[in-house]
Amino acid sequence: MSIHAFRMQLKPCVVDEYRKRHDEIWPELSALLTESGIHDYSIFLDETTLALFAVLHLAEPNTRDALPDHPVMKRWWDHMAPLMEVEDNNRPKEWSLPLIFHHD
């Protein structure tokens, strides 16, 4: 099991909608994440900067790298693109965060 952390960026005035869409996450997306080896996935919000900080645990082996090609993932990115900074294909811009400290 490995831990992956990254930052994403919300656009102004969309926090409530972003939260609502995740509260109503599609069952097929939730299943896809689990099947891909993603567990214990949390997203935190810095309300001052609207930065999102995500932390997830990855089973070994996992298929996380194949997610960008999956139709459900692409559809979710299209659904979320109006709320976030995204790449040309609507994939959320993502900045990896290196692990500095961990305590069990």
Q: Is the pLDDT of residue 55 over 90?
A: yes
State which H helix or E strand residue 97 sits in: none
Calculate the average pLDDT of the chain. Answer: 97
Residue from 4, 22, 70, 79 carrying the catalytic annotation: 22
Compute the distance between CA of residue 70 and CA of residue 56 in angstroms, rounded to an integer. 19
pLDDT at 47: 97
Half-sphere exposure of 9 (CA within 13 A, CB side): 10
pLDDT at 104: 87
Query: Residue 39 catalytic?
Result: no
Phi, psi for residue 29 in degrees, rounded to 5:
-75, -45
Non-local CB neighbours of 8 within 8 Å, separated by 6+ positions: 43, 51, 52, 54, 84, 85, 92, 93, 94, 95
Which of the four pLDDT bands, split at 50, 70 and 90, describes residue 15?
A: very high
Q: What digits encode the pLDDT tens for the residues 60-100?
A: 999 999 999 999 999 999 999 999 999 999 999 999 999 99
Q: Is the pLDDT of residue 46 over 90?
A: yes
pLDDT at 1: 87
